[in-house]
Structures are given as structure tokens and as C-alpha cells.
């Protein structure tokens, strides 16, 4: 007797930025396992090749979201690979200076890089893909933009200034997009996955106890659940949807990811 595998995102077209490591790679794995057609963006060509070989159904795109000139080519490659878009996950992040520094000791170039990656990149890519997302919403009832946030967006941690300020801007920008696009069918969500055992967290807090950190695979499952709840895949029990949306503001631990 064959056992059916639950693949609730079958046919959904999803783009993930920063998809070759950490949470981004875990999202590529989780979303493809749920049946989504995934395109992922990353700067490192070797990493894109490696992940494309591991997930043969995923489409790798090489590019730097912090570079304005690369946004439209990236958007065109994503749309060409997926033939449209239902979900955009802005996950790629930059810490700013490493080691982390007080704001007064932060170089302007480090702050600018964090803003370019964490705020301007998501803004430009979302803007470039907004027409395709709105078209998907008209056809299927809903599309989703999920911006990966951090508790540093709401708590002022010393030495996290570049990262925290940029994530705060991303979080507020998500709220503005939500207000402005409320009638388009494109749902904008900001979600904090919490402290994770990733290279980014290790660079920020090299002496952290990794046993206290969430695995990226766990965070990816939680974010995928939020996406499922937001999309009109099938009618769900109302309290399940409410619970999953509420979790988007609770997926955080005591320090930034």
C-alpha cells in the first residue's frame, strides 16, 4: 500500500534570497519538500551551483541584492525560471561590521552595506516583482511577501546598531507595504525566526552556546507553516490560521539571530 506524502505547496512558485546557507538553505529544503517550485538567489556562484546540484528541482540565480543594477536582471531570471511568482521571501541579511561595533565606532561603509542588503535590496526586489505577485493574487486569491526580521528590530542591543537599525527599517517598511497593498491580495508578513545556529549568528556571537540556539530547519518549518496559512491552498480551521499568524511575532529568543 502506497503512502501519500503531504505536499501542500505543490505548484506554488517561491523565491528565496540568501538561499545557499543558514535559514535560506533550510527554506529551500523545506519548501521543495512541500512541493513548491523554488528559485533561490545568492551572491556566491559556487554556492549556487552546490545547492542547485543538491536540489535539482530548484533554480539557482547568482546576484547581489545590495547592487541596484542587479535587481531587474535578478527579477527577470526568477520570473523566467518560475513563470510567475506566488511567494517572495526576503531572507538575505548583512550584520554590518564584524566584529560588531558600537555605533560611534561603525564605519559609514559598513552601515551602508547593511542598509543596502537588509532594506534597499528587499525594497527594490519587492518593487520589481510586485506586478507578478499581484497577478498571482488575482489569479489564485493571494500572494505573499515574507520579510525575515529579528528581535534586534525592536530591542536596542549595544553593538548591533547597523543590523538592528536596518532590520527595524525592514520591519516598518513591511507594515507600510501591508497598508498600501491591502487591496491587491498580496499579503506582507514580517517574521522573526529567533536565535539560530547559523554562520551569521556565529560571526556576531562567536562564544554563544549553540545548544541554546534553534536549528535553521526548525525555523524553516515554522516560516513555511506561516506561508501555508497565508495562501489559499485549502480552507483551514480558523483557530489554526490565527495561531500560525500569532507565532510570527513570537518566533524569537533573547538575542538577535
Would you place residue 234 in the very low, low, confident or very high pLDDT band (cuts 50, 70, 90)? low
List the beta strands (DSSP E) in the chain.
13-17, 37-42, 59-62, 87-90, 143-148, 186-191
Would you place residue 140 in the very low, low, confident or very high pLDDT band (cuts 50, 70, 90)? very high
Q: How far is CA 194 from CA 77, 78, 99, 149, 226, in A?
A: 31, 28, 20, 9, 15
The DSSP string of 38-82 is: EEEEES-HHHHHHHHHHSTTSEEEE--TT-HHHHHHHHHHHHHHH
What is residue 246's predicted lDDT score, i.e. its pLDDT? 57
What is residue 68's predicted lDDT score, i.e. its pLDDT? 97
The string of pLDDT tens digits covering residues 6-52 is: 688 999 999 999 999 999 999 999 999 999 999 999 999 999 999 99
The string of pLDDT tens digits covering residues 77-119 is: 999 999 999 999 999 999 999 999 999 999 999 999 999 999 9
Q: What is the CA radius of gyration of the chain?
A: 17
Run of H or E residues at 232 = none
Are 41 and 21 spatial neighbours (Cβ–Cβ below 8 Å)? no
Q: What is the pTM of this model?
A: 0.88
| Mean pLDDT computed over 46-64 | 96
pLDDT of 232 above 60: yes
Secondary structure of residue 98 in the 3-state scheme: coil
Q: Decide which of 211 and 19 is more confident.
A: 19
Domains of the chain, with CATH numbers?
13-247 (3.40.50.720)
Tell me the residue length of the chain: 257
Would you place residue 238 in the very low, low, confident or very high pLDDT band (cuts 50, 70, 90)? very low
Would you place residue 1 in the very low, low, confident or very high pLDDT band (cuts 50, 70, 90)? very low
Separation between Cα atoms, residue 257 and residue 223, nearest integer Å: 15
Closest Cα partner for 30 from 232, 196, 221? 221
What is residue 149's predicted lDDT score, i.e. its pLDDT? 97
What is residue 4's predicted lDDT score, i.e. its pLDDT? 43
Q: Could you tell me whether strands 37-42 and 13-17 are parallel, antiparallel, or unpaired per DSSP bridges?
A: parallel
Amino acid at each position: 500500500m502506497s503512502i501519500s506524502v503531504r505536499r501542500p505547496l505543490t505548484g506554488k512558485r517561491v523565491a528565496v534570497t540568501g538561499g545557499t546557507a543558514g535559514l535560506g538553505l533550510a527554506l529551500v529544503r523545506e519548501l521543495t519538500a512541500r512541493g513548491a517550485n523554488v528559485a533561490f538567489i545568492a551572491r556566491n556562484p559556487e554556492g549556487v551551483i552546490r545547492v542547485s546540484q543538491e536540489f535539482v528541482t530548484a533554480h539557482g540565480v547568482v546576484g547581489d541584492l545590495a547592487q541596484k543594477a542587479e535587481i531587474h536582471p535578478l527579477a527577470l531570471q526568477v520570473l523566467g525560471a518560475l513563470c510567475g511568482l506566488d511567494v517572495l521571501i526576503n531572507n538575505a541579511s548583512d550584520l554590518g561590521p564584524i566584529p560588531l561595533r558600537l555605533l560611534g565606532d561603525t564605519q559609514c561603509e559598513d552601515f551602508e552595506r547593511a542598509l543596502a542588503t537588509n532594506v534597499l535590496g528587499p525594497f527594490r526586489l519587492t518593487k520589481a516583482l510586485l506586478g507578478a505577485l499581484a497577478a498571482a493574487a488575482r489569479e489564485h486569491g493571494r500572494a505573499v511577501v515574507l520579510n525575515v526580521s529579528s528581535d534586534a528590530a525592536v530591542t536596542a542591543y549595544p553593538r548591533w546598531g547597523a543590523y538592528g537599525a536596518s532590520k527595524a527599517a525592514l520591519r516598518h517598511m513591511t507594515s507600510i507595504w501591508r497598508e498600501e497593498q491591502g487591496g491587491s491580495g498580496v499579503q506582507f508578513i514580517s517574521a522573526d525566526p529567533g536565535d539560530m545556529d547559523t554562520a551569521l549568528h556565529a560571526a556576531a556571537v562567536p562564544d554563544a552556546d549553540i545548544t541554546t540556539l534553534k536549528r535553521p530547519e526548525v525555523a524553516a518549518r515554522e516560516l513555511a507553516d506561516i506561508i501555508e496559512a497565508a495562501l489559499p491552498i485549502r480552507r483551514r480551521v480558523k483557530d489554526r490560521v490565527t495561531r500560525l499568524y500569532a507565532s510570527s511575532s513570537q518566533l524569537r529568543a533573547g538575542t538577535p539571530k
